[in-house]
Amino acid sequence: MSKPYQSIPIAECGEPLVAIADDIIKIEPHAYVTLGAPYGDRSPFFVRQGILERLRRSQAYLETIRPNWQIAIFDAYRPIAVQQFMVDYSFAQFAESKGLEIQSLTEDQKNSLMSEVMKFWAIPSHDPKTPPPHSTGAAIDVTLFDTEGQEINMGSPIDEISDRSFPNYFVNSRDALEIEFHCDRQLLNQVMIHSGFQRHPNEWWHFSYGDQLWAWISDEKVAIYGGVI
């Protein structure tokens, strides 16, 4: 199992991981930490220096469109061990949602379920040529908070394994609430691409710059951020 963007070569630029500053909203307690994901002494709220700078530019642009709205960080840097933990956890939860027990799955069932999970989760590869996007410090999962500091309803929760997570899922809806979901997803995309980020094809919340996925979407020949151990 591989992803098309993994063929993009990486020319690591050497930028450091830095903490996401306190003036940027972070959704806490962090969901994966709460589940027991093995971060060790690392924090999920770290990104490459250039990502933080672009995030600030996107936030400033958002304020010109929606004064006092804020970009909120759900997740950022993710060690490969955490990526593996979350793939395993998501697989188990998805199987349970289908009323299936992992111990009783056939190979065909396992492959079918994993195929759905991997539409949304990157491969937890230890190969330096194919790092998971979040393990590069160049990918962030984000949403929007309104003037009251309330999270905007985007029509599906972050990490949901369903077609509702696709960015344009509600594009043709005539339902007033679903039209609003689409407009808010478009607003998020607008402010993120303003500073150079690209959105994951299957996830309304996932944006990155400089990693292999970004290079693949942008038709760039080389990624500038590789894995951070």
- Catalytic residue IDs: 203
Distance CA(126)–CA(226), nearest Å, equals 11
| Cβ(139)–Cβ(74) below 8 Å | no
**What φ, ψ does residue 73 adopt, rounded to 5°?**
-90, 120
**What would the DSSP string read from start to end of the chain?**
---GGGGS-B----PPEEEPPTTSEE-SS-HHHHHT---TT--SSEEEHHHHHHHHHHHHHHHHHSTT-EEEEEE----HHHHHHHHHHHHHHHHHHTT--GGG--HHHHHHHHHHHTTTS------TTS--GGGGT-EEEEEEE-TTSPBP--SS-TT--SGGGSTTTTTT---HHHHHHHHHHHHHHHHHHTTT-EE-TT-TTEEESSSHHHHHHHT-S-BS-----
What single letter denotes the amino acid at residue 221?
A: K
